[in-house]
Amino acid sequence: MRTPFKSGIPSSEITSESAWLKRRQLMTAVAGGALVGSALASALVSPGASALAAGQSLRHRPATANSPAGFYTTESLTPYEDVKRYNNFYEFGTDKGDPARHAHKMSIDPWSVRVDGAVDKPGVLNLEDILTGFDLEERVYRLRCVEAWSMVVPWMGFPLSDLLKRFQPTSKAKYVQFYTLLDREHMRGQRSFTSSIDWPYVEGLRMDEAMNPLTLMAVGLYGKPMPNQNGAPIRLVVPWKYGFKSIKSIFRIRLTQRRPKTSWELIAPQEYGFYANVNPQVDHPRWSQKTERRLPSTLFSPNRRDTLMFNGYGEQVAHLYKGMDLTRDY
C-alpha cells in the first residue's frame, strides 16, 4: 500500500502542466464565464449521459490566479494518466490499479442522485439535470490520502452548497450523509467474500463543512468527464480532509440530525475518525502523517514533502474547528 509509485507512462502520453495552463488561459480570454465551444462541451458530456444532446454547450469557468482564495494552486499538476491509473476505489478491488482495470464495467446511463432526509423538498436529480443545471467551474486542489501520498488535480464541478440549497434543508439538518452506488453485478469488490466493508460505502460531513465554499461536487477533471475509476459521474471533493472522505459515484444524499457512522469509522474507529482532517501532528497508528509522497514518484525519486495542516487550507476552514481538540476529534 505504501510502496513508492512508478507510473511507467511514456511522456508522450502525459498531458503537461504547461499545455493545460495554456488551455486554461485561452478559455479565460474567451470572457469570464462564457460558454465554452462545442468541442469542450462534447468532452464534458459523459458517454453514459445519452439524454444530453450531442454538442450541447456547458458553462465552465476556468480556475486562474484570480480565483477566490483556496480555489487554485500554482503547484505542478499530477499528470492526467497518473490520476486515472492510481486510485483507491474498493468497489473495484484493493490494488491501486484495480479501478482502472475494472471500473469500465459500471454503467452511468442512466444515473440519478436522490436527496432526502431533513429537507423540505426531497427529490431526485438526473445526470442531465446536474450537468446542465449548475454553473460548472474549475478548482485546482491538492488531494492528500491517509496513506501519505498526494496529488494536485484540476477538478470541474460546482459547490455542494448549491445542490443542497435546492432541496431546502430544515433546521434539523446537522449532517450530510453520502452513499456510493450499490451494484454488486458490476462492482466486483462489493461481492468479495473478503471485504470488511458493509456496502454501500457511506461518508458524512457536518453541515457547516458541507456548506463551505471549498466543498465541491465534481463531474470532471482535466477538462474531461469524470473517469469511472475516479468516481463517475459525480463525486465529492473535500480538499482539507483525507481522500477517503471524498466519496465517489454518489447515488444518494441524506440530511440528518444525528452524526452518521461512516464506513471506515465503522471498520477501524481507532484509525479513521469521522472528521479525517489532514493533520501532520496526528499519526495514523501504523505510520507517520508528518510527510507525504507527491505523485508521480519513483523508488529513487520519492518526491516527499512536509504535510500541511488542513492540507494547506487552514485559512478557509480552521474556523470550523475552533475550540475542538483535533487530536481527539481526528
Its domain, for residue 110, covers 11-321
What number is the average pLDDT over the span 234-247? 98
pLDDT of residue 16: 52
Q: Domain for residue 330, yes or no?
A: no
Q: Which residue has the higher pLDDT, 307 or 224?
A: 307
Q: Domain for residue 310, yes or no?
A: yes
Q: How confident is the model at residue 299 (pLDDT cuts 50, 70, 90)?
A: confident
Q: What angle do CA 187, 140, 57 make, to 5 degrees?
A: 75
**How many other C-beta atoms lie within 10 A of the C-beta of residue 134?**
19
pLDDT of residue 275: 98
Asked whether the predicted pLDDT for residue 55 surpasses 80, the reply is no
Give the Cα separation of 258 and 197 in Å (integer): 21
Asked whether the predicted pLDDT for residue 5 surpasses 70, the reply is no
Give the Cα separation of 281 and 285 in Å (integer): 12
Give the Cα separation of 179 and 160 in Å (integer): 15
Q: Domain for residue 329, yes or no?
A: no
> Please, is 326 exposed, middle or buried when counting C-beta atoms within 10 Å of its C-beta (0-12, 13-18, 19+)?
middle
Q: Domain for residue 5, yes or no?
A: no
**Percentage of residues in the chain having pLDDT higher than 70:** 82
Lateral strand order in the sheet of 123-126: 123-126, 112-117, 250-256, 175-180, 202-206
pLDDT of residue 101: 98
Q: How confident is the model at residue 60 (pLDDT cuts 50, 70, 90)?
A: confident
**How many other C-beta atoms lie within 10 A of the C-beta of residue 24?**
18
Residue with cell 484495480: 98
Asked whether the predicted pLDDT for residue 137 surpasses 80, the reply is yes
The conformation of residue 82, written as its DSSP 8-state character, comes to H
Q: Domain for residue 328, yes or no?
A: no
pTM across the whole model: 0.85
Give the Cα separation of 63 and 60 in Å (integer): 10
Asked whether the predicted pLDDT for residue 28 surpasses 90, the reply is no
Give the CATH number for residue 146.
3.90.420.10
Residue with cell 477501524: 268
**How many other C-beta atoms lie within 10 A of the C-beta of residue 43?**
15
Q: What integer best gives the mean pLDDT of the chain?
A: 87
Give the Cα separation of 314 and 245 in Å (integer): 17
What number is the average pLDDT over the span 213-226? 95
The tally of domains found in the chain comes to 1
Q: Domain for residue 24, yes or no?
A: yes
Asked whether the predicted pLDDT for residue 56 surpasses 50, the reply is no
Of 241, 206, 213, 237, the C-alpha closest to 311 is 241
